[in-house]
Amino acid sequence: MPLYYYRASDSGGNVLTGTLEAREERLVVQHLQQGGLIPLRISLKKEEASPWQVSLGRSRGRRVPLREVVTFTQELAALLKAGLPLDRSLQALQSVTTRPAMKEILSQVLLDLQGGKNLSDALARHRVFSGLYVSLVQAGETGGFLDEALERLGDYLKTVSDFRSYLVSALIYPVILVLVACLLLTLMLLFVVPTFEEFFQQMGSDLYWSTRFLLGLSHGFRAYWWAVGLLGALAVLIVSRLARSPQGQMALDRFKMTAPFLGDLSRRVAATFFAKTLGTLLHNGVPMVVSLKVVINAVANRFLARSLSGVLANVEKGQQLSVLLVKVGLFPELFLQMVAIGEETGHLADMLLSAAQTLENDARTAVQRLMALLEPVLILSTAVLVAFFIVSLMLPILNLYEIQF
């Protein structure tokens, strides 16, 4: 039977960890509950903080990764749902967290709670918790369903984290292919081509244009490698400066949303996050105008955020969201239709969450198709370049062989 690692809390707020053999996770949950424990996290892999993670937390101060926030949110929701008071729940989580930055944040949150502040006000002081996070917690406090709000928030953050990780993972292999191709071509220019150059000089015969081009490229690269490196560093510096400027960031974000192939994927991903975030806020009772403000502030693409600013102003005047989103022209047609149906039926929050799930599946499919096209293109391009090198170097040798016979 598989071995499960668990983290659970007792009625006094003490957090316990251990292992348990069971056929499935459901049996582990039942066993813990029968023993009077509150299951917080159950997994087949032991969760440990690596030494570099701990040092990273110390060296970078208050930086906390998203997965740490997801774990905190899910475990806090589980403790509150089991009836544990908020302060004791936070104390229990503070005692078991291994990241110094998170310990410091929870310590300050506890001090603010003891000073009479609400949880949402205490969390708002820390940049780790976004405006979306604070708004949902505030809605849960106002409506008396803080545990449910945190549970939904934990599910939302986990979905966002998994989707972002999927997008990043999908790009790893193409990036590795590009780096390997660049390294291979550099080694050939530095070491392989010079070896053939000495042989060609001894031959004394005329060379093909491709061979002369390759020899000239190798000679120039070896003679002026420092200039190539300097120009590369200068290009990186200029691009980074432009990307940091407001005009450069706006132009780059506009390109992401309007490019032929990248634009379609970017619009799907943007619509996914927009629908998921707005639907989660509305589902937890946050008013439409406040929800839109939170969503627009959370949008990373500045071009899209600027386009949505007019939507917010018109929604405040009473206009329909679906009509305004159509005018923006940056969202998929299916998403716009689902928003219109949600407004007509009075179930906009549920329709947005359903649209987010559909868009996420479409985005994953689009990424798979893009990677399925990109990988063979990169491999074929590398093969063509390598073949050009080999043919250019071998043609003079084959020509010499024909002359001799």
Mean pLDDT across the chain: 80
Arithmetic mean of pLDDT, 248-273 = 83
- Residue 238 forms part of a structural domain: yes
- DSSP class per residue in 16-81: EEEEEE-SSHHHHHHHHHHTT-EEEEEESS-----HHHHHHHHHTTT---HHHHHHHHHHHHHHHH
Arithmetic mean of pLDDT, 154-180 = 83
With pLDDT > 90 as the criterion, what percentage of the chain qualifies?
Answer: 1
- Residue 153 forms part of a structural domain: no
Spatial strand order of the sheet with 3-9 comes to 15-21, 3-9, 38-43
Which of helix, strand or coil describes residue 379? helix
CA dist 117 and 227 (Å) reads 60
Q: What length does the chain have?
A: 405
- Residue 306 forms part of a structural domain: yes
What was the pLDDT predicted at 262? Answer: 76
- Residue 66 forms part of a structural domain: no
Q: Tell whether the model's pLDDT for residue 275 goes beyond 50.
A: yes
Which tokens sit at 217?
């490229």
Tens digit of each residue's pLDDT (9 = 90 or more) over 136-147: 888 788 777 888
Neighbouring C-alpha atoms within 13 Å toward the C-beta of 272 = 22
Q: Is 346 exposed, middle or buried (0-12, 13-18, 19+ CB in 10 A)?
A: exposed
Say which residue, 350 or 58, is predicted with more confidence: 350
Which tokens sit at 215?
């020899």
- Residue 151 forms part of a structural domain: no
175 shares its domain with 37: no
Contact in structure between 203 and 396 (CB atoms under 8 Å): yes
Contact in structure between 133 and 110 (CB atoms under 8 Å): no
What was the pLDDT predicted at 13? Answer: 59
Highest mean pLDDT among 138-147, 192-201, 336-345: 336-345
Which of helix, strand or coil describes residue 215? helix
Domain that residue 3 falls in: 1-45
Residue with tokens 């062989």: 401
What CATH number does the domain containing 27 carry? 3.10.20
- Residue 241 forms part of a structural domain: yes
Residue with tokens 């071009």: 303
Arithmetic mean of pLDDT, 214-232 = 84
Arithmetic mean of pLDDT, 183-191 = 85
CA dist 197 and 247 (Å) reads 48
* Number of separate domains in the chain: 2
CA dist 204 and 56 (Å) reads 61
Residue type, 304: L
Arithmetic mean of pLDDT, 385-392 = 86
Q: pLDDT category, 53, cuts 50, 70, 90?
A: very low
User: Residue 172, Cα to own-chain centre: how many angstroms?
Assistant: 13
Tens digit of each residue's pLDDT (9 = 90 or more) over 12-43: 656 667 777 777 777 777 777 777 777 766 76
255 shares its domain with 400: yes
CA dist 330 and 272 (Å) reads 12
What CATH number does the domain containing 238 carry? 1.20.81.30
pTM above 0.85, yes or no: no
CA dist 197 and 220 (Å) reads 13
- Residue 17 forms part of a structural domain: yes
Gyration radius from the chain CA atoms? 29
- Residue 69 forms part of a structural domain: no
What was the pLDDT predicted at 341? Answer: 92
CA dist 217 and 189 (Å) reads 8
Of 155, 360, 150, which is closest to residue 273 (Cα–Cα)?
A: 360
Q: Which of 55-64, 135-144, 275-284, 376-385 has the lowest mean pLDDT?
A: 55-64
